[in-house]
A and B are shown apart, each in its own frame.
Chain A
Amino acid sequence: MSKKIGVFVCHCGTNISATVDVEKVAEEAKKNNPGVSYTTTYKYMCSDPGQKLLRDKIKEEGLDGVVVAACSPKMHEHTFRNASKKAGMNPYHVEISNLREQCSWVHPDKPTGTEKSVDLVRMMTEKTRKDKSLNPIKVPVTKRALVIGGGIAGIQAALDIADAGHEVIMVEREASIGGHMAQLSETFPTLDCSQCIMTPKMVELAQNENITLYTWSEIEAVDGYLGNFDVKIRKKARSVDLDLCTGCSSCWQVCPSKKIKSEFDMGLGKRTAIYIPFPQAIPSKPVLDREHCLLFKDARKKNIPPNDSKVCRKCLDICPIAPVKAIDYTQEDEIITEKIGAIVVATGYKELDDISMYGEYGGGKYKDVITGLQFERLASASGPSEGEIQRPSDGKVPEIIVFIQCVGSRDPAKGCSYCSKTCCMYTAKHTMLYKHKVHHGHAYVFYIDIRCPGKGYEEFSLRAIEEEGATYLRGRVSRVYKKGDKLVVLGADTLTGSVVEIEADMVVLASAMKAQDDAEKFAQKLSIQYDKDKFFSEIHPKLKPVESSSAGIFLAGTCQGPKDIPETVAQAGAAASKVLALLSADELEREPVVAKVDRLPAPIFSTCIGCFYCQRVCPYGAIESEDIKARDGSTIKTVARVNEGLCQGCGLCAATCRSKSVELAGFNDEQVYAEINSVEFN
């Protein structure tokens, strides 16, 4: 029995009807097409009355197939499928013919637009004729979330999920949570102390009974799918037993290696080999840096087990824990596996620290040319100079300080075209911090634009100029060179059309936020997409800003792109709410538009020849292998199988398969050929 198909042509206001004769399209849809039993046009199909029209006609006309000729299926396929479902039809018999994006918007001339629209509608009618009923796939949910990264984004997301009563596993690769926010001195636009607002949250997280914290740990592998992830976590050897250690500080006080550059202080301060990164660290327990520890160095040199080296055992000797000491040189990496329902990726950013790419600014060459984060540490009361602004080379308080904006950003020639978004504001803040500490000092800022679109940001940046007296010069700096103990900064002020030469004592580069060095690898591990700058991609920049390309994996904070603290916290909250929505259901419904590798009766079992090309092209890691076994347990053949939980229905596998063994539901070959064959080529 052939289908009774209804065709509904939308005017989309005048978006479609201005360049497409919609009445003619509806008329033509009926011609020579016995399957089409009803056609109409309507001003706005997506409106309430438009949807009602669709529902009513399905019932009145007894339709069992629908083509809505309107905008992109990305916009309203869902809307019309829902409407048809309400009218008692299987929603997968609804197809969208895209007359707006693919026709009326791109063709200026009405006859051509109309002709193409007629074809587009006919194609979809043919496809609809071959549509089969599909039913949503149901998957169970593990009610536990994983948060990767313990900066402000991760902490916020973890707390929000845990406070709603769900278990959270947090994995942080550094020895302490806190991330970059813990490094900042004060925050814009209120100038409140970063540590003061950050540490209570860190403590709250550590004390939350729903949260399990793994620091000095990394994600090894993520398998499974939405609601059912299997996550392997590598707990790196810390050489300290966190259960035994009390954080008494004896070990790092006696450690003789005292001149290791502190990562937390951006290389400006020093730390020991066994250390806590900063006083408020959580956990407040040390980690042993095996690369710099004298004992491990000796063991490596002599090629003996560390425990056999006798060079230095001061930390172990002084450890007061008895009978078993908290320090353990023999500790090894440990792999833990956790079952997870949803994941929040909050892996943060890395400041552009390879400033040697700016040789013209003396980056990496002159000690007194420093980065933004280095300045934060200088200005911080817990920093290497206890908050006094001293230049690194000789400790002198700079009287003239020059800030250069857009370093590592808005610089396509250096491979970084994007705006790092926070630097304008943090530079304004830096000038204020500097002026507050060095009253007689003079701050100059070279900028291209001053971007301050946040709440209170414009006022903040003007305060730096008008009240705190920072002098802003509009132009990039071309060169910084040394002259005596001064740094000569050669810049421009394009507003007056002049060259500006400043003899400065110190130069601060407003270095950009970059993606983490291993972002690409990490994204591949999670099967999530990333952009040209290696920041992780959201699915839709406006409507799905925290959803990654893999179902059940959400993005929070600067791993997705440069952003400031308020925006990061807001995004973390949004990601948490998405996780909570997932975890609130016992079962999840998924779109049935997934691929399937055929299975046939013996002796063929499947036409799949097991080449696994499909596995190579699948962006979601959804292709698994299956051994088809004989009764005696021996393997007859190994074929591909699609994990429905992971499959996103992109169709790459079906297109790649050479033996035509893979079929994408709703897009099978028969349907696609029917579409193509319906077009009259001339």
Chain B
Amino acid sequence: MSEETKKTKIGYYPGCAITKCSTSEEYGTSVLGVSRVIGPELVEIDDWNCCGASSGHATNHKLSTALSVRNISLAEKDGYDEVLAPCPMCSQRLIVSQDDVEKDEKLREEVEDAIEMPISNNVKVSNYLEIVKNYSMDEIAEKQKKKPEGLKVASYYGCLLVRPPKILKFDDPEDPKTMDEIVTAIGAEAVDWEFKTSCCGGGFTLSRTDVVVKLTNDILEGAADAGANAIAVACPMCHANLDMKQNNIEKETGRRFNIPIVYISELIGLALGLNPKDLGMDKHFIDTGSVINAFSNIEK
């Protein structure tokens, strides 16, 4: 990697779920922790707001667009060319909103009026997998301290990293590979399985837990049947549903999974030799000990 890209400063949009003291804070903690070791430098966008998430787009398209676009305009004001939104709900909302105002002049005017800022739409919004793949693969190889043994990882992308593909233009929507590449790069085995982009029920965690239980059960079964002993995710909602609800599912279906659900950033962090606690790995519902213990120092 060239000296120049190393210095790249990227606007950081954590979104509500992964900031400190939130339900998925370990994702944010590990993303930031990892970036401190291998870059790129992430700087939080000043005064960012919630993108509106599913409740936004599900009930008010204009409002949802404005809430999302406000953050892009803020990033632009701060002078970033690229913004990382590790939460796929956020990155998808930001990118789709950018696309919407790009295609609809009238909507753009209304939104500009509401956010009281101009929209120039020159900021590229990236998800976490893109950032790792584009900036950090060589760095990981260079700075890796630990390697896992016998860790079989099912990479679970969920919906929002890849869909809608025509707008997001990220990876193969039916069989994405980026996360698998990262998993393989740190020396774990990426298992081939069929539920990479199946829906976990997303925002129905509270309102329709029954739906979430059914869908996540399918995913957990798929991973277990493929021989995975861990599932890697890059989405706080997927994580919440698979991790927090795993006991519920076990109670309802009678099948015991006990599969740790880890963020891809946590796996990278472990490979870099970071302290699991500093990565927030003690905050999961399902114990992550088996994953942590799979890593041991690389003998040089």
A–B contact, 8 Å CB criterion (strictly below)? no
